[in-house]
Structure 1
Amino acid sequence: AYLRVFYQKDDDGHTADALQPAAANNCFLDTGGYFCGEIKSPDSVALNLDVFDDPGIERSIFRTSLIMDWERGDYRVTSLSSFSHDRLQDQRDNDFLPIAALGGAFHVLSDTEIESYSQELRVNYDDGGALRWLLGGYFYHEQTDDMLSAPFSLRPSVTVSPVAKVKNYAIFGSLDYDISQQLTATVEMRGNWDEISIIPQSGQRQQTFKTLTPRFALSYKLTPEAHLYMTVAKGTKPGGFNDDLFNSAVPESERVRLADFLTYAEEKAWNYEIGAKTSWMAGRLTVNVAGFYIDWTEQQLTTSFPIIGQRRARPLIHNAGKTEIWGLEAEIQARPDDHWNFSASAGYAHAEFTAFDDETQARLTGDSSVAGNRTPRAPEFTFNLSSRFVTPITESMDLFLRADVNHKSSRFVQVHNLAIIGAVTRMNIHTGLEWQDVRLTLYVKNLFDDDTPADVTRFFDASSRFMPRAFLVTLPRGRSFGATVNYSF
């Protein structure tokens, strides 16, 4: 049996976000306004935090899990139990302006608690022969409680979001069969029952989703060091409610106006992959390649609207029509000698909407279709490079040096493919000493101080009572350096 317990307490400042105001919009100005082109990190951040005693985020996290195994002959029974409790308290300026917009209406305090527990029980059979199987069951329960107050507003208020609950029941199984010494076939099946519910003041609402998700795989050993594989699998993600629209402060007229966003549907995807995994030079060189295709329907995306009665920007989830993704991946790891270790990986993914009508697109351009556009926040090209050098300097002490380079190509902020987050390349360097149970590390992260935004979100500008479209820029971590000491016991 294995019992794990984890606790973490964080006390951070205000989120590193800055507003690109509506005044920066440079296209479609006659139909609501938008920004076309690359959005940069601003040179300054405007926040008004004077009213808060301790602005920022306080978070506590508690996790515990218990794993138990019983073996009898060719059978193995495994039980996995877990419990978690998160609490997030946030004091924040939600208008991201140097003044208190609307009399402080957007200076808010929030308190969110999420509690969950799960239980899984599975039985494995393996007698060393050609057939192996697994059967199991799973249960998961989650509850979220959320409260928001605006004590600094001209009209102070406390609002309570509906209690949100998630229950998931699942039965799953798999069969592996060695058709020959080289060829193995795998069949997996999972049945899911999801109950998504919220309990607003108007009474409980619930949605139920029942899905069957199969997975099929073939693996062929060309040699002991190389094998080919192919997989076909279906994945799903249950739908649900946009809880913030059921907040006690949101008037019924808003729910009528945003009726299409009260709920969202389950998304489904069929995944196809073929690839090869190979090992060379007595394991000193590993080369893996793969190609994939994903047929995605009802993809869940986020959007945002100013909502009467809400004093913070929260995303609303809605469904896209159809999306197709195809791509290639490659990975290489090399150990030319006992001192050097190199790794490199690269990926290309082309993700495109094939059918999707968007309300904002219709307002901007007069045509609601975004078919042919790329999906948001998805870079087409990524690569990672890493090298590590280790050499002994005494009988019990090693010197190490590691360098890592990570790259992501540019990506679009939203489905309109107008605003862009630029390409980013960052380099990190670590060096230090290792001896016995101690490791001393000196590091520099983001060596060249790349300031490309970490993310950009559609937002609104609260400096105008019409709240026109703006963009919220999540700032990246600049160049940083430091030292760490690790002790293992």
Structure 2
Amino acid sequence: LNAALFYSDIADMQREVNLADPTSGVVQIIDNTADATIWGLEVDGTFRLGDNLLMLASVGYIDASYDSVKFDLNGDGMVDGKDKDLDLPRAPEWTYSLGFNYDFEVGSWGFATARINYAYRDEVAYTDNNLGYILEQDILDAGLDFYANSGRWVFSLYGRNLLDEVKHGGDTQLPSALGPIPLGGTFSPLAKGQVYGAEITYNFVR
């Protein structure tokens, strides 16, 4: 079992602020935007539930807030309490996971490992103005791996994102128009949805 408590008092926090721009699409400004305090707790552990069964669990909590702001984060033309009340980007309040690994022998051929893992992450702001955000995520993965006694062959079946959750790699606002071209919306690249697959691995060096 591992645990960590952390506290950070950040002065003149440097941020890469992305702003929608009608000429270039997105403008990135690097500036010292604010003073902030971030503290939290992380706990993780591995627990043996039997001769062949392991449980892996973790939980994390983050409290992140601005102490003072010196940049117009929300883009309303003023630096005031509305900027200070914004959430710090990419600092989810709660994250946790729970997984199980089960090992078993397969006759004289080798052994196998069955695994399943669930992970949760809170909804979190992605951009400094909080208009861009990442949805909360419930991710469930599972798999089965067979290891041949030779030590060279591994045969795997897997399922990833079994709940078919929508996962974005970002969420950056675009201008309503780019020159004469209507645009709008956001740049929000999607991660893969529900995936099933099989893999065969051969290890040349044992």
TM-score normalised by the chain length of structure 1? 0.38
What letter matches 2:50 in structure 1?
D
How far 1:466 moved relative to its partner?
A: 9.0
What letter matches 1:320 in structure 2?
T
Pick closer, same or farther for the CA change 1:338–1:438 going to 2, 3 Å.
farther
Structure 1 partner of 2:59: 346
Q: How does 1:442-457 map to 2 (within 5 A)?
A: 442-457=157-172
Pick closer, same or farther for the CA change 1:377–1:458 going to 2, 3 Å.
farther
Structure 1 partner of 2:21: 306
Structure 1 partner of 2:127: 414
What letter matches 2:135 in structure 1?
G
Choose which of 377, 381, 403 in structure 1 pairs with 2:116.
403
Pick closer, same or farther for the CA change 1:408–1:387 going to 2, 3 Å.
same
Structure 2 partner of 1:328: 41
Pick closer, same or farther for the CA change 1:466–1:434 going to 2, 3 Å.
closer
Matched, 1:481 2:196: yes
Please say if residues 56 and 100 of structure 2, whose CA atoms lie closer than 8 Å, have aligned partners that are also in contact.
Answer: yes
Name the Cα RMSD after superposition.
2.5
Which deviations, in whole Å up to 9, do the C-alpha atoms of 1:372-393 show, x marking residues without a partner?
4320122111112221111001
Pick closer, same or farther for the CA change 1:465–1:299 going to 2, 3 Å.
farther
Which deviations, in whole Å up to 9, do the C-alpha atoms of 1:219-243 show, x marking residues without a partner?
xxxxxxxxxxxxxxxxxxxxxxxxx
User: How far, CA to CA, are the matches of 2:9 and 2:73 in structure 1?
Assistant: 25
How far 1:339 moved relative to its partner?
A: 1.0
What letter matches 1:460 in structure 2?
P
Structure 2 partner of 1:460: 175
2:74 match: secondary structure: helix
Pick closer, same or farther for the CA change 1:469–1:414 going to 2, 3 Å.
farther
What letter matches 1:421 in structure 2?
I
Structure 1 partner of 2:72: 359
Which deviations, in whole Å up to 9, do the C-alpha atoms of 1:105-147 show, x marking residues without a partner?
xxxxxxxxxxxxxxxxxxxxxxxxxxxxxxxxxxxxxxxxxxx
Structure 2 partner of 1:379: 92
Pick closer, same or farther for the CA change 1:479–1:466 going to 2, 3 Å.
closer
Pick closer, same or farther for the CA change 1:390–1:438 going to 2, 3 Å.
same
Larger Rg: 1
1:327 match: secondary structure: strand
Specify which structure has the bigger relative contact order, considering alpha-carbon pairs within 8 angstroms and separated by 6 or more residues. Answer: 2
Pick closer, same or farther for the CA change 1:408–1:401 going to 2, 3 Å.
same
What letter matches 1:428 in structure 2?
D
Please say if residues 297 and 320 of structure 1, whose CA atoms lie closer than 8 Å, have aligned partners that are also in contact.
Answer: no
User: How far, CA to CA, are the matches of 2:171 and 2:75 in structure 1?
Assistant: 22
How far 1:301 moved relative to its partner?
A: 1.9
1:315 match: secondary structure: strand
Please say if residues 300 and 318 of structure 1, whose CA atoms lie closer than 8 Å, have aligned partners that are also in contact.
Answer: yes
User: How far, CA to CA, are the matches of 2:9 and 2:181 in structure 1?
Assistant: 39
Please say if residues 154 and 202 of structure 2, whose CA atoms lie closer than 8 Å, have aligned partners that are also in contact.
Answer: yes
User: How far, CA to CA, are the matches of 1:362 and 1:466 in structure 2?
Assistant: 23
5+ residue gaps, structure 2: none
User: How far, CA to CA, are the matches of 2:22 and 2:179 in structure 1?
Assistant: 15
Pick closer, same or farther for the CA change 1:381–1:371 going to 2, 3 Å.
same
Q: How does 1:129-144 map to 2 (within 5 A)?
A: none
Matched, 1:438 2:153: yes
Matched, 1:297 2:2: no
Q: Say which structure is richer in helix.
A: 1
